[in-house]
Amino acid sequence: MLRLFEHPLSPYAQKVKILLREKGIAFDTQVPDGIGAGTTGGEFTAANPRAEVPVLIDDDTAVFDSTIILEYIEEKWPEPAIAPRSPAERARARMIEDVMDTQVEAIIWGLGELNFFGRADGELKAEMEETAARQLSSFFGWLEGELKDGPWFNGTQFGWADICIVPYLNGAAGFDILPESGSALSAWFASANARPSVAETQSESVASIGNMELVKAAVEQGLFKRQYRDHRLEWMMKSGGREIVLSGLDAGNIRFTGP
């Protein structure tokens, strides 16, 4: 059986789980030991030198990076097809995925830093949350245009782009930031969450938030180090969080990718 190294809150891992469930492929999940402390090892880091989830283990094949994993699954189990058939539409789906994985993920992650881990309070927190909401609203407008005639981003079939968008909009919804009521994007969001593959994946994500106070305490003690990778660091620096980064470095509770 396939094994997936993941964390339920990771939108990158959520993409993979939704795709596997849409295709009806059985899999087991495992959260890597020490992932939050940056002390992972063993099979997980042997499979992914970046020590990031998700990692898919298929017998002797190990695949990391959510986009590459999606491509691997689609190529090995082509039915039912999730990717659009035309090269132009496939390229469009992958460009949407890239925007979600870099630009939008960073905003959702930043909101988590503020609300789950108390990186800022008072006026600074309010200003950064307002910035994040404004940024997300801009991306929602862009997605509304990409949805075109719908009902799915793939057209008439739920597919690649839909899978790559819904984890992030669920993440934004967790901070009460939603597509405009009555919009085409809002209707799409409701339809996407009604799919069993999405609903099950989202329920796992919500359940994992239950111990967040313990994780916050571990961050404050420097036992759990939040990963400030590329676009996340950029978001913090450009959105008012310069002092958050500097204080996190001083406290030793943020980390970067690699040795």
Domain hosting residue 33, numbered range: 2-76
Q: Is the pLDDT of residue 36 over 80?
A: no
Q: Which pTM value belongs to this model?
A: 0.96
Largest CA distance in the chain: 52
Question: What are the structure tokens assigned to 241, written together?
Answer: 């969080």
Question: What are the structure tokens assigned to 22, written together?
Answer: 């849409």
Instruction: Render 185-231 in DSSP notation, one character per residue.
Output: HHHHHHHHHTSHHHHHHHHHHHHGGGGHHHHHHHHHTTSS-EE--HH
Residue 155 lies in a domain: no
Report pLDDT digits (tens) over 63-114: 999 999 999 999 999 999 999 999 999 999 999 999 999 999 999 999 999 9
The mean-pLDDT minimum among 13-17, 35-39, 189-193 falls in 35-39
Return d(Cα 20, Cα 80) in angstroms, integer.
Answer: 11
Question: What are the structure tokens assigned to 134, written together?
Answer: 């404004």
> The domain spanning residue 47 has which CATH number?
3.40.30.10
Residue 140 lies in a domain: no
Question: Looking at per-residue confidence, does 126 or 211 come out higher?
Answer: 126
Q: Is the pLDDT of residue 211 over 80?
A: no
For the chain, the domain total comes to: 1
Residue 231 lies in a domain: no
| 38 band by pLDDT with thresholds 50, 70 and 90 | low
Question: What are the structure tokens assigned to 117, written together?
Answer: 């881990």
Residue 42 lies in a domain: yes
Residue 102 lies in a domain: no
Residue 29 lies in a domain: yes
